[in-house]
Structures are given as structure tokens and as C-alpha cells.
């Protein structure tokens, strides 16, 4: 489970790329309240470094966070000792009975598990775990992340780190990110490389899968006041109170 978001990238993501989660959480908390979910267990799939779990615990929820990165889980456990965290794939983890499931920052797009279950199978397992009236809140990246087939290169830097990213989207709607990190260790900088691949999905396609399972579905382009980036969508999937 150590192939992705290893120690340096996990650290850089936590300190340098936390704004997405922190800006999304007020809207997500509002959605939970709108659906009458005031307390109980929230399962956070792809929980990363525990930023979302921290906000949920502060609001009074119980939290189970799941992530495929051991280094992310280590940060999360230190940040939110009141929450429970489990190392594992969101495509394979056993989901306990809960009031809501959330997954922030396009986690379902990642192709980290070559033999993972289909999305419909995962959506069904989440549906079965949710209490009647429970909600499943997550966002996805859609096709059109890049405007051409030409790779796009960028860099971001912090006080003791720099990350270089090359992105390319192919005709099969696979987005590939080549990520090179440099992190200061003493007087030197340590380099690490990772390659992340994502399958991009149209929001309408995902909504249809959810509806086939039995959810009532809304597609949004924001979490409250936080507008999602271009070619991203949030899906709010509610399990009906009853089948009547």
C-alpha cells in the first residue's frame, strides 16, 4: 500500500494542497445537516491526512477514515486521535453501518487498484451500509481536464519543498500525472517520483449508475460557496427512507 502518496508527497499534499478539502467541508457539513444527519458515524473514503475528519469530529460526528497511503494515515492519526483510521483501498474496504459516506477530491477516479471492483459494485456496498435517509457525498473529475493532447507541465513550491507535475489526457479519458517531488532534508533535497492515473467520468454517467442502485441523485458544481474546478462535479446520492 506504499506505492502512492509516499512520505514526501503525503507531507507536501498535507501542507501545500489542503485548501480543496478545507474549502469543501463547510458545504459538505451543510449538506449533512440539510438531510437531517446531525450525528453518528461518517465514513470518509480517501481520507488523506485527516483534514476532513478533523472538521467532522469538531462538529460532533464519529469518523472512520480509509486511505490507501500508509503515510497519509500516519498523519491523520496524529491529527485526529478521536477518529478511527484504516489503511486500505476504498474499492475493497468493508463499510460499516453508517449515516453518511463522503469522499473528497476525485478519489473514485484513481486507478490505484488494477483489480478493483466496478463502481456500481462499490456504490451498492455503500448503499447497503447507509441507514435509510443516509447520504453519499463525493466528487469526480470529468473528461476535459486538459484542452489538448499536449502534456501540460507545472510546478508549485513551499518553504521546504517543490513539486513538479506533468499531466496528459488521452483519447480513452485517462488522465496521467507524473509527479516529481523535492523535499528538504537537512541541507539537501530528497527526490521522489510517482505516477498517478485516473479514469475520467461524465457526471451524468455516474448519476445513472447511482440511480440504478437505488439512490436519489443530485449533481452539483459546488460544495456550498466553494465552486469546484472546471470539469469537476459533486454528486449527492441519498438512500430513500423506505422502498414504499
How many residues are listed for the chain in this entry?
244
How does pLDDT run across 208-218, given as a tens digit for each residue? 999 999 999 99
Question: What average pLDDT does this structure show over 133-154?
Answer: 95
Q: How far is Cα 166 from Cα 179, in angstroms, rounded to an integer?
A: 7
Q: How far is Cα 157 from Cα 213, in angstroms, rounded to an integer?
A: 43
Q: How far is Cα 42 from Cα 147, in angstroms, rounded to an integer?
A: 37
Q: How far is Cα 49 from Cα 69, in angstroms, rounded to an integer?
A: 9
* Residue 15 cell numbers, joined: 501542507
Q: Are 90 and 119 in contact (CB under 8 A)?
A: no
- Strands 130-141 vs 232-238: parallel, antiparallel or unpaired: antiparallel
Element housing 36 (H / E): none
User: What is the overall mean pLDDT for the chain?
Assistant: 95
Closest C-alpha to 164, from 176, 177, 174 = 177
How does pLDDT run across 76-108, given as a tens digit for each residue? 999 999 999 999 999 999 999 999 999 999 999
56-65 long-range Cβ contacts below 8 angstroms, 24+ apart: 56/29, 56/83, 57/82, 57/83, 59/29, 61/32, 64/96, 64/98
Instruction: Provide the CATH topology of domain 7-143+199-238.
Output: Rossmann fold (3.40.50)
* Residue 127 cell numbers, joined: 448503499
- Strands 161-169 vs 216-220: parallel, antiparallel or unpaired: unpaired
| Complete edge-to-edge strand list for the sheet that includes strand 216-220 | 84-87, 62-67, 41-45, 98-103, 130-141, 232-238, 216-220
DSSP letter at 121?
A: H
Closest C-alpha to 65, from 40, 79, 81, 48 = 48
CATH architecture of residue range(s) 152-198? Single Sheet (2.20)
Share of the chain above pLDDT 90, in %: 93
How does pLDDT run across 116-143, given as a tens digit for each residue? 568 999 999 999 999 999 999 999 999 9
Q: Are 93 and 86 in contact (CB under 8 A)?
A: yes
* pLDDT for res 147: 86
* pLDDT for res 244: 47
- Residue ranges covered by each domain of the chain: 7-143+199-238, 152-198
Task: Cell 469522499: give the residue.
Answer: 103
Amino acid at each position: 500500500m506504499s506505492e502512492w502518496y509516499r512520505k514526501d508527497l503525503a507531507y507536501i499534499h498535507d501542507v501545500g494542497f489542503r485548501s480543496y478539502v478545507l474549502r469543501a467541508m463547510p458545504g459538505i457539513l451543510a449538506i449533512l445537516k440539510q438531510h437531517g444527519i446531525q450525528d453518528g458515524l461518517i465514513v470518509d473514503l480517501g481520507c488523506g491526512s485527516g483534514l476532513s475528519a478533523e472538521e467532522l469530529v469538531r462538529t460532533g460526528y464519529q469518523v472512520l477514515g480509509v486511505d490507501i497511503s500508509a503515510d497519509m494515515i500516519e498523519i491523520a492519526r496524529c491529527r485526529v486521535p478521536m477518529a478511527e483510521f484504516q489503511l486500505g483501498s476504498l474499492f475493497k474496504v468493508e463499510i460499516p453501518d453508517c449515516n453518511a459516506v463522503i469522499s473528497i477530491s476525485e478519489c473514485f477516479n484513481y486507478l490505484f487498484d488494477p483489480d478493483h471492483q466496478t463502481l456500481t459494485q462499490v456504490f451498492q456496498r455503500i448503499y447497503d451500509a447507509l441507514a435509510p435517509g443516509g447520504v453519499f457525498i463525493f466528487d469526480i473529475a470529468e473528461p476535459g481536464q486538459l484542452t489538448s493532447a499536449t502534456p501540460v507541465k507545472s510546478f508549485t513550491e513551499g518553504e521546504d519543498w517543490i513539486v513538479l507535475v506533468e499531466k496528459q489526457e488521452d483519447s480513452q479519458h485517462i488522465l496521467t500525472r507524473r509527479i516529481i517531488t523535492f523535499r528538504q532534508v537537512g541541507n539537501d533535497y530528497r527526490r521522489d517520483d510517482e505516477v498517478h492515473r485516473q479514469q475520467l467520468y461524465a457526471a451524468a454517467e455516474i448519476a445513472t449508475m447511482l440511480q440504478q442502485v437505488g439512490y436519489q441523485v443530485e449533481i452539483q458544481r459546488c460544495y456550498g460557496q466553494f465552486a469546484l474546478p472546471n470539469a469537476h462535479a459533486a454528486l449527492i446520492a441519498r438512500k430513500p427512507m423506505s422502498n414504499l
